[in-house]
Structure formats: C-alpha cells, structure tokens
C-alpha cells in the first residue's frame, strides 16, 4: 500500500521515477484529486519537520518503522509515537476538507488546541518554564496574545503536558 501511495505521489509531483517514457508519468490528476493533493500537502506542511519526515518516509517511501528509526537515529518507540501523533494531527487538520468535499463528519480524535498549534514547541517551552509558584494567568495571556490561542482553562495545558508532551524535544 505504501508503495502505491508513493507511485501516485510521484506521478503527481513528477519527483520520482525519472523514466519519461513511462505512461504513468503522463498521469494528470483531475480537479478533485488536485484539491486532495493540495489539502494533504498543506496539512503535512503544518507538522513539525521530524513528524513530516516520518510520515513521508513511512507512507511515500514505504520504509518500516525500524528503517526510519535507523535513518533518523531515533528510538523505535519514539518514531512510532511521533507517527501516531502526526496521523492524529493530520486527521484533525484535514477534517474540515473531508467534511466539505465528501460530506463526512469526522469525529474529533482527542483534539487538543496546543497539539494542533503550529507553535506547539514554543508554547511547550513557555509552559515548562513557568515558575511552579506562579499561576497560569501569564501563560494564558501569552497564548492568547502571542499565539492566537483561546485556552479557557489551565486544564487544557495540564492535560497536554501530562498526556501529549514529547519529552525528547525538550531535552
């Protein structure tokens, strides 16, 4: 399946193959396919670069988790966790598109404002550097003013840190 995805992607972007006589290189996506490709590319661009790289290697290049782990010198468990995080984010990013074009209401998979933010790591640093005795007021205001993120309750932050934080990014 991954190889088929790679094939389609390569015909579309004319990136791979290199064999111009291949009839598949004349493949032209129809308007809906073009929209799908643009939506997926847009969603991928919102991922942190390491997650984007893992998704591309896994789905476009057909590499296994172990192969990716070796290439990126990153533990197998960490690659798998990042891959799952990336898929959850892509699902959320693409859900408005899927709903608009296919009329399918996508269930929100553990949607988290902080996970979904393109400034996720900056926000995590802000949170992790909050002095323990300080309350959340300053952080909430910064989220609103600096990152355009309307977080109503500190519970969102606490859950994010507890369940979604990828420790190894903040070593």
Binding footprint of Zn ion on the chain (CB under 5 A): 112, 114-115, 160, 164
Least CB distance from residue 46 to Zn ion, whole Å?
A: 14
Q: Which is nearer to Zn ion, 79 or 112 (CB)?
A: 112
Least CB distance from residue 158 to Zn ion, whole Å?
A: 11
Q: Which is nearer to Zn ion, 102 or 121 (CB)?
A: 121
Least CB distance from residue 48 to Zn ion, whole Å?
A: 13
CB 141 within 8 A of CB 147: no
CA–CA dist 62, 128 (Å, integer): 36
Q: Which is nearer to Zn ion, 4 or 152 (CB)?
A: 152
Cα–Cα–Cα angle for 106, 108, 110, rounded to 5 degrees: 150
Q: Which is nearer to Zn ion, 114 or 127 (CB)?
A: 114
Helix (H, G, I), strand (E, B) or coil at 62: coil
CA–CA dist 9, 15 (Å, integer): 8
Least CB distance from residue 121 to Zn ion, whole Å?
A: 12
Cα–Cα–Cα angle for 161, 143, 91, rounded to 5 degrees: 60
Least CB distance from residue 63 to Zn ion, whole Å?
A: 27
Beta strands in 13-158, from DSSP E residues, in sequence order: none
Q: Which is nearer to Zn ion, 55 or 115 (CB)?
A: 115
**The token pair that represents 30 in the structure block:** 């129809």
CA–CA dist 150, 167 (Å, integer): 24
Q: Closest residue (Cβ) to Zn ion?
A: 112
Helix (H, G, I), strand (E, B) or coil at 129: coil
């Amino acid at each position: 399946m991954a190889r088929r995805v790679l094939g389609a992607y390569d015909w579309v972007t004319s990136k791979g193959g290199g064999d111009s006589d291949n009839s598949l290189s004349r493949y032209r996506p129809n308007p809906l396919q073009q929209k799908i490709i643009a939506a997926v590319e847009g969603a991928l661009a919102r991922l942190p670069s390491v997650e984007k790289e893992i998704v591309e290697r896994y789905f476009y290049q057909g590499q296994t988790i172990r192969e990716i782990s070796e290439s990126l010198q990153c533990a197998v468990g960490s690659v798998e966790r990042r891959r799952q995080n990336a898929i959850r984010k892509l699902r959320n990013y693409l859900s408005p598109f899927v709903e608009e074009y296919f009329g399918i209401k996508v269930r929100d998979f553990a949607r988290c404002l902080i996970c979904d933010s393109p400034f996720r790591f900056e926000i995590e640093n802000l949170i992790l550097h909050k002095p323990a005795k300080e309350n959340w007021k300053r952080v909430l205001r910064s989220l609103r003013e600096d990152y355009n993120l309307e977080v109503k309750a500190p519970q969102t932050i606490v859950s994010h840190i507890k369940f979604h934080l990828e420790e190894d990014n903040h070593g």
